[in-house]
Amino acid sequence: MVCPPTVTRLGDGRYGLVRIRALAGTAACATDPLPGCACPIIDLRNPLYESKDSVLAPSDIIWHKEADVVVIGYGMAGAVAAITARDCSASVMILEKQAAGSHWSNSSLSAGLVVRPADIGGGIAYMKALCEARGSALLPENDTREGCRYGGGADRGNGCAMRGPAPWTDAETIRVWAEYAFQNKDWIESLGGQVRLVRRGGQHPQLPGAGSIEIWEYRGKGLPMMQLMYEQVASRKVEVLYQTRAVRLLTDADGKVIGVKTVVGGGQEEMNIRAGKAVILCTGGFEDNEEMKLQYLRVYPMYFTGGLGNTGDGIAMAQEAGADLWHMNCASAGLSAKFPDFPLAFPVDLSAKLFADHGASDRRGKGGPGFIIVDKYGQRYTNENFPSHAGWYQVASFDATRLEYPRVPSFFVFDQRRMGLGRLVRTFGAAGPHQLYRWSADNAAELKRGWIISGESAGELADRIGIPRSNLERTVRSWNDACARGRDPDFGRNGSDLVPLDSPPFYAVKLFPGGANTLGGPRRNARAQVLNPFGEPIPRLYAAGECGSVYGMLYPAAGGNLAECIAFGRIAAENAVAEAAMEGNGG
């Protein structure tokens, strides 16, 4: 005997996500079920729905607003997606949970750098090499089929002889990244933006294709770049709903995303936004979610230079809609200064030089003031000129005997030479154009606040920061000896960086793993469609930016984030607009 279907509710009806799915048969349960058939009806009552019936169709949802494309999040990816979709003649609405007067994003706090591969082939080669990190040595030499080496989630179970982990990102997604990122400079300039070339070469020059990478800087850094985006969005008359927090994706019986449930203002007023074509997630990462950082990242704690409000809500919404996740243990991060009485970390300028010159192998002459980085036992543990967006891997080593991360925190140790050369932090982030904090030109205010610790000798400094005095004294002596010899036998620092610590007082700043942003989130394909765990697109759901970045373990170069926001903001919007418009009330 075939029983009528059971009706079930997936998700929490209190939040307005109601998915109705027939589990068997073709008709709804009758009032009087067939003899011997259990026909449970789960209560789907919800104040957002007019109908109080147990079985609710999408047509019963009360829609308060609608647009063809609904963009969640108003950073660079959200702005680019909105501009592109509107230029494709779609109606667009942006949902932003921050208030209009205090709105800022990772993009507006950034250095305004944008990666562009000078040639598409070189960009593809470099990204493929980055995406083979930690996996290529395990790929079978006798199975070099493209689909096997770069299958990603969509090609699981395809019969390949792969025995090790797959590359971080599939080949087709890498290809479209390179094609669209190649256009980044021209796209910005087409809107009236001004950029200049500041560097050539990727973060990892030993990899093929690294020489194709160019880094362009927006005039004035991230804030004026985002101000241009705001102006472009406004000129297209895109509706932006500030203080409107997306809390759930609304789907129909087949799992198609048909809208967004939001909470308005600081209260509990609820509003459903209908998406006639698609929803694009541009909500960033989870820099401001301690639980997610603990569970997913490789070391804890981590502190970021932006992302207050980036709580992973887009990731959670995508998961509930059935999304697979990728790159969850990856981040664009190095070491940042974090102080207990300020919410954001600061990007540190270790040597008072522009980032583009720091650590470059072709410098001639001495490179400015001396500095070292030590663990909480006063010992150096790395070449301090590590790649700035991968440095956090250096501190993620856990001591299973002591049951601690001995490098968290670490200490940036320097002398009066560096102190006298100006601000210890970079000219972006919280102390950049946004001026969320005004860092003093001579660092005196931060010394007074206790953010910078001083001592007349290395031993006195060690006492004040709580590390073994003899260890730090020995480390400083060893460093000064290496400087005198012109060679760092322990970690191979550049000869031009071998400047002794011999100008007291000595200073230290506490450093933690952290940086710009996390990279993990919903897996996407080359069309920016969000995928389920079987590699299938979730209908009408797209993602762009760092909500499921295409970057994995290794980050390409400074400016990679904005490059991806622009590239995949455009890709997501173009494909979202191409969706067929929903008929009626959705479903």
pLDDT at 587: 55
Query: What is the pLDDT of the chain when averaged over all its residues?
Result: 86
Strand intervals (E) in 106-242: 113-117, 195-200, 213-218, 239-241
pLDDT of residue 586: 61
What's the predicted TM-score (pTM) here? 0.86
- Average pLDDT on 547-551 reads 98
Token pair of 360 as six digits: 């470059």
CA–CA separation, 336 and 344 (whole Å): 10
Whether 33 has a pLDDT exceeding 50, the answer reads: no
Strand partners, 41: 7
**Residues with Cβ < 8 Å from 549, sequence gap 6 or more?**
285, 327, 330, 519, 520, 521, 561, 564
pLDDT in tens, 414-431: 999 999 999 999 999 999
Q: Extract the tokens encoding 285.
A: 């990462």
The mean per-residue pLDDT over the stretch 388-398 comes to 94
Tens of pLDDT, residues 480-532: 999 999 999 999 999 989 999 999 999 999 999 999 999 999 999 999 999 99
With bands split at pLDDT 50, 70 and 90, how would you rate the model's confidence at 356? Answer: very low
| Cβ neighbours around 487 below 10 Å, total | 13
Residue indicated by tokens 């072709």: 362
Which residues on neighbouring strands pair with residue 199, listed in sequence order? Answer: 215
What number is the average pLDDT over the span 272-300?
98
Other CB atoms within 10 Å distance of the CB of residue 316: 18
CATH number of 333-516: 3.90.700.10
Three-class SS state of 294: helix
Q: Break the chain into its structural domains and give their ranges.
A: 1-56, 65-106+221-330+519-577, 113-218, 333-516
Contacts of 316 (CB under 8 A, 6+ apart): none
pLDDT at site 411: 98
Over residues 48-61, the pLDDT tens digits come to 333 333 234 677 89
CA max distance for the chain: 93
Structure tokens at 142: 């006798």
Average pLDDT over residues 120-141: 77
pLDDT score at 352: 77
Question: Is the per-residue pLDDT at 15 higher than 60?
Answer: no
Q: Which CATH superfamily is domain 65-106+221-330+519-577 in?
A: FAD/NAD(P)-binding domain (3.50.50.60)
Of 231, 195, 200, nearest in space to 216 by CA: 195
